[in-house]
Amino acid sequence: MVQGYVLLIGTCILAIGVVLCNMKNILKNPYKLLRSICFGLFTFSLLRYFTLIVYGDSPSYEQLVHLRIFYFATSIGLTMTTASAIWYVTPFYRERWHYGKYLAFFIPWILFYLWLIVKQPTRIIQGKYYGYILQLLPPYEAWLASVQSIFVGVAILLCVLGMLRHKHIEIRVKLFILILAQLILLLDGLTYYLPLLHTFAPFTVSEVLGFLAVLYGFSGFSEKI
């Protein structure tokens, strides 16, 4: 078995474990709408990592086609749970906006991600070292990169404003970790376009860190805020 595929399996198993922890943790959340939406997003994201494992092996073409809807699941699954975690962590946002109204701000991103997942402007290509890769066709790859970059900027801005608004150390730490996770995802996206030798598949380890940040964000505070 190719070493890269072994690393992919290991990373995907780790990601599955972290997402399952998020699913268990979100069931304790007191906000029903947030709980329902995030649980659905975590479930959808979970299927991406099973899909990556299948794509990395030697599946039939029919399997590749049937599973490709899950390949970019975290484009919406990680971004919208991150946005939700920012709302939950920051009392100012919770008091100012109902969760549904807050999430409505992200409708342009949600619609774009859903369109991308449903319409699938993609092609299945042979991986450089093993398995297969689902690649976005031009110009959609550039569009996704731009949309994701704007989301990262908005998420960081919301976190910074939350940190400035609240002096509570635990709120600031949670928001700071969410910022770090977004920066790591952005860096992963930038290196994707560089001719570098990637030890791990792009957007796997960085997504694990992103879901860990979300998990910490949704975890309870040590004292009542």
Kindly state the helix (H) or strand (E) to which residue 101 belongs, with its residue range.
Answer: helix 99-104
Q: Looking at 42-46, 53-57, 118-122, 188-192, which range is the least confident one?
A: 188-192
Give the 3-state secondary structure of residue 56: helix
b/e 139-172 (16+ beta carbons within 10 angstroms → b): ebeeebbebbeebbebbbebbeebbeebeeeebb
Q: What pLDDT band is residue 2 in, cutting at 50, 70 and 90?
A: confident
Domains of the chain: 3-217 (1.20.1070)
Provide mean pLDDT across the span 30-50: 98
pLDDT digits (tens, 9 = 90+) for 123-156: 999 988 889 999 999 999 999 999 999 999 999 9
Distance CA 188, CA 38 (A): 24
Cα separation values, 110 from 151, 172, 216, Å: 11, 27, 23
Q: What pLDDT band is residue 197 in, cutting at 50, 70 and 90?
A: low
Distance CA 135, CA 38 (A): 27
Q: Residue 225: is its pLDDT beyond 90?
A: no
Which pLDDT belongs to residue 135? 95
Q: Residue 167: is its pLDDT beyond 80?
A: yes
Which pLDDT belongs to residue 210? 99
b/e 94-115 (16+ beta carbons within 10 angstroms → b): beeeebeebbeebeebeebbee
Identity (one letter) of the amino acid at 157? L
Angle at 99 between CA 206 and CA 204, to 5 degrees: 10
How many other C-beta atoms lie within 10 A of the C-beta of residue 185? Answer: 25
How many other C-beta atoms lie within 10 A of the C-beta of residue 209? Answer: 18
Q: What's the chain's average pLDDT?
A: 94
Provide mean pLDDT across the span 193-200: 66
Which pLDDT belongs to residue 220? 80
Provide mean pLDDT across the span 91-118: 98
